Amino acid sequence: MRKKIVAGNWKMNLDYAEGISLFSEIVNMVRDEQKGEQLAVICAPFIHLNSLSKLGGTTVRIGAQNCHQNESGAFTGEISAKMIKSVGCEYVIIGHSERRQYFAESDELLAAKTSAALKNNLIPIFCIGETLDERNNGSYFDVIKTQLTGGVFGLSAEDFSKVVLAYEPVWAIGTGLTATSEQAQEVHAYIRKEIAAKYGEELAEKTTILYGGSCNPKNAAELFAQKDIDGGLIGGASLKSRDFVDIVKTFNS
Ligand code: 13P
């Protein structure tokens, strides 16, 4: 059985008090309603991580949204994987399309960040996905293969087995335009096939692949029912406790 995960990505939202308040609501609601094996994770801004990891316990796990590739040093304003781990985080998002687009993060840099995360026992949630142009001109399988090859296929099988992947089509992020369950399943199946070609069937079958992009309580059930979709990476809907927990509950229904 693959690990099922619903992870919220708060992005650059919520000040400290707002974050604590929303997170406390989420923890209480998830505690009441969580029945299955699925994991709930919240990936919050750095300022929240220390407090949230203490409040979340094993009910809601905590992740960061980025890390630096070096362990320490003269990198003013940056946060290392070691620091993130030291406040009790278990996950870190790497290669979100907003980081690729606004901070020019390359596949090579993302490979280094992934290695830094793994070295510090953080689970990378590694994001891949095509733009609208790449979807329309039919190059999306090639784009995804390039992102996988440059970002994570340099890892040993042992290290790769710890990675969670997230397919987030850029055109579906924050736009209200969700990929249909068929479109998402097609790409998830392709990703799993590429993992099998690189690391073998057994590892491919064990890899958790999340879908992200305008996922909400209304469309989550159909998306998560697809054979190769193992949960979601949720942006906007993770800022509302009821919506996020309803998406978590989808696995129970
Ligand atoms: P939305 O759910 O707001 O579309 O964002 C998805 C996302 O980018 C999660 O990382």
CATH entry, 5-252, from 1.20.140.10, 3.40.30.10, 1.10.3720.10, 3.20.20.70: 3.20.20.70
Atom 1 of ligand 1, residue of closest alpha carbon: 235
Closest CA to 90 of 114, 115, 55, 125: 125
Q: Which residues form the catalytic set?
A: 96, 168
171 CA to centre of ligand 1 in angstroms: 10
Query: What would the pLDDT profile of 102-159 be if each residue is shown by its tens digit?
Result: 999 999 999 999 999 999 999 999 999 999 999 999 999 999 999 999 999 999 999 9
- pTM comes to 0.97
Residue from 9, 12, 218 whose mutation best tests the ligand 1 pocket (most atoms within 8 A of CB): 9
Query: What would the pLDDT profile of 71-91 be if each residue is shown by its tens digit?
Result: 999 999 999 999 999 999 999
**How far is Cα 18 from Cα 52, in angstroms, rounded to an integer?**
12
